[in-house]
Chain A
Amino acid sequence: MVGLKLLKRSYTFIIFFFLYAPIAVLIVFSFNDSKSRGNWAGFTTKWYSQLFHDQQILKSLYYTIAIALISSVFATVIGTAAAIGIHNMKRLMRKVVMNLTYLPVVNADIVTGISLMLLFIFIRIKLGFLSLLLAHITFNLPYVILSVLPKLRQLDRNVYEAALDLGATPLYAYFKVILPELMPGVITGLLLAFTLSLDDFVISFFTTGSGVTNLSITIYSMARRGINPQINALSTIMFVTVLVLLILVNYRMSRDARVTRDRKEKNKNAQDYLLQKA
């Protein structure tokens, strides 16, 4: 039925339009020669040039990216190790730990933010870069664990044992056999952690100080006065950067996908052969 097909396609289009229309407006108005969204006063690139002189915004950008990168890497390493540990726990212990892990996910950000702030004050860590980093690693951890754990459940234990049988040390087996299997979950966890970290306002606001600030805090602080179009310019640059990166990554991934598919075929054949022999 032609009608149904058209409906299906336009439905998808409407969803994407709904998601991207605000970003399109944002980009268009980054070239508006007026601070207001209400009228178009002419084309200009002054917000872009002003952006590169604005110390506060550049400082926020630097800290945002630095914190996002460092905290997501740390959270991924710790989270993956944690996931493996949790996976190997006894039932009761695992339930307890998983419930604790869920807490920051389920809790309102403000509760996490204020409690972390009070903790840092109590143990006398001055609020600044370190406290902000620790806070970000903390709230990122559960998401990494939740991304890696399903992959662990899908893991075939036999492959690990086969590697040990073939003479690998546990560490070597981990890096060469287990980790590649977990990789999709680990990467998902890493990207999730990175995105959450970039985005965060409430927890960051309460756990930072000493002039360390991120983009979310800077932008929210402008709420009373109205958002400076330099933010539009910055957002446009970030959006285009991420878009280009994603296109590149996607291109590489589709090229590698074929290679991986072939490799998996070979692995499966090897497993079947070993099982037959056993």
Chain B
Amino acid sequence: MTGCSSANARPTITVYNWGDYIDESVLQDFEKKYDIKVVYDTYATNEDMYVKLKSGGGDYDVVIPSDYMIKRMITENMLQKLNTANIPNLSYIEKRFRGLPYDPGDEYSVPYMWGTVGIIYNKKMVSDTVDSWKILWNKKYSKQILMQDSQRDCIGITLKMLGYSMNTRKTEELDAAKKALIEQKPLVLAYVVDEVKDKMIAGEAALAVVWSGDGIYMERENPDLQYVIPKEGTNEWVDAMVIPSTSKHQKEAEMFINYMCEPDIAFKNADYIGYASPHSEVMKMLDPKLVNDRSAYPTEDDLKNSEFFEYLGDYVKVYDKMWTEIKAE
């Protein structure tokens, strides 16, 4: 890839995103409107994307990672500061998504989609009120509970249940969480990844820990299912658009990010993906039933005890060891 556009060559930007995480027609619309070619690549996890970028293997202009990964990339000088003058549509991003912990100055990222982690349960199979993480430790639902096969999600919600921070580094707190998860193991049907959706829809389990986006989808597919955010609080996550420092097309990348924040474009994406959008106009354009559904769009009050995952740096080894011990027990 050579430098920026010359008089006759059409500039090209490369966008790197999660799989199936965009309405593809917006790419073609962007190409037509701005005469900039868009090359689109996908990745499966933040870590895969990080390895590619870190080793210099990717020449990407716009990437859409998750919050903790953005924090890591900022710390390691992998991102460029945005020239917000080129992104006027930033004003559409709701105030509560500005100045988030991973990018306090809003200097490097623009939120794209957001969500939470919560419990989805089958109303026909669960007789108790579901408003606390503690229900996942209730012996009445033995072998009907599905947990995420994800280290930070499992340990995180356990810490929340015990009243601690999900980013804690205090050994007593982590030991308590470890003990709780090992106690829970006999009650867990399985530790799953995306199989959780099909299993819950098919009624194979009563309770599961899922992301809000999946929760909305599951509620639609099976009306017996209900997604809730427990009162102890949960993980709030945001995926945001960033520009790697290796990009040679900053201006075009910023045009793309600005374009993605146009109300009708942001709406197209939110509608296709089905996750919650941080865009104020989109919330007005969506089906009011969806926007008022506190599973999809929890209020700030619902989220008062919630936290973002922090990038743990080297401390993640402690969490790794803990998770290995829990799984091996």
Contacts and interface: CB of A to CB of B under 8 A. Distances in A.
A234 to B, nearest CB: 14
A224 interface: yes
Contact of B221 (A38, A118, A225, A228): A38
Contact of B18 (A114, A205, A217, A225): A225
Interface in A81-119: 114, 117-118
B43 A38 contact: no
Interface string B1-42: 100000000000010001111001000000000000001111
Interface in B214-246: 214, 217, 221-222
Interface in A42-56: 54-56
Given A117-B57, A126-B59, A209-B57, A221 B202 contact: no
Contact of B194 (A114, A205, A218, A224): A224
B199 A38 contact: yes
Contact of A37 (B19, B43, B193, B198): B198
B40 to A, nearest CB: 6
A117 B40 CA distance: 19
Contact of B58 (A38, A118, A209, A217): A209
B42 to A, nearest CB: 4
B202 A38 contact: yes
Q: How large is the interface on A (under 10, 10 to 19, 20 to 34, 35 or more residues)?
A: 20 to 34
Interface in A196-245: 205-206, 209-211, 213, 217-228
Contact of A55 (B18, B19, B24, B194): B24
A6 B1 CA distance: 65
A205 B59 contact: no
Interface string A56-77: 1000000000000000000000
A127 interface: yes
A206 B198 CA distance: 30
A90 B61 CA distance: 53
Interface stretch (B44-52, B183-191, B311-319): B44-52
A34 interface: yes
Contact of A223 (B14, B19, B55): B19
A37 B217 CA distance: 13
Contacts of A271: none
Contacts of A38: 197-203, 221-222
B56 interface: yes
A36 interface: yes
A159 interface: no
Contacts of B21: 224-225
A56 B39 CA distance: 11
Contacts of A221: 18-20, 42-44
A206 B41 CA distance: 12
A205 B202 CA distance: 33
A121 B53 CA distance: 12
Contact of A213 (B20, B24, B41, B193): B41
Contacts of B203: 38
A217 B41 CA distance: 9
A269 interface: no
Which residue, of A39, A218, A220, A224, has the highest number of chain B Cβ atoms within 10 A? A224
Which residue, of A36, A56, A218, has the highest number of chain B Cβ atoms within 10 A? A36
Given A36-B201, A56-B40, A220-B44, A206 B57 contact: yes
A38 B222 CA distance: 9
A36 B48 contact: no
A112 B43 CA distance: 19
Given A209-B57, A210-B59, A225 B19 contact: yes
Interface string A123-145: 00011000000000000000000
B24 to A, nearest CB: 6
B249 to A, nearest CB: 13
Contacts of A219: 19
Contact of B198 (A36, A224, A225): A36
Contacts of A37: 198, 201-202
Contacts of A213: 41-42
B273 to A, nearest CB: 8
Contacts of B19: 218-225
A116 B56 CA distance: 13
B315 to A, nearest CB: 24
A220 B18 CA distance: 10
Contacts of B40: 56, 211
A36 B197 contact: yes
B292 to A, nearest CB: 24
A99 B276 CA distance: 54
A54 B24 contact: yes
A228 B199 CA distance: 17
A254 to B, nearest CB: 42
B163 to A, nearest CB: 30
Which residue, of B14, B52, B58, B193, has the highest number of chain A Cβ atoms within 10 A? B52
8 contacts: A38-B198, A39-B222, A56-B42, A205-B52, A210-B41, A211-B14, A218-B19, A224-B194
Nearest 3 A-B pairs (CB), nearest first? A221-B19, A38-B201, A38-B202
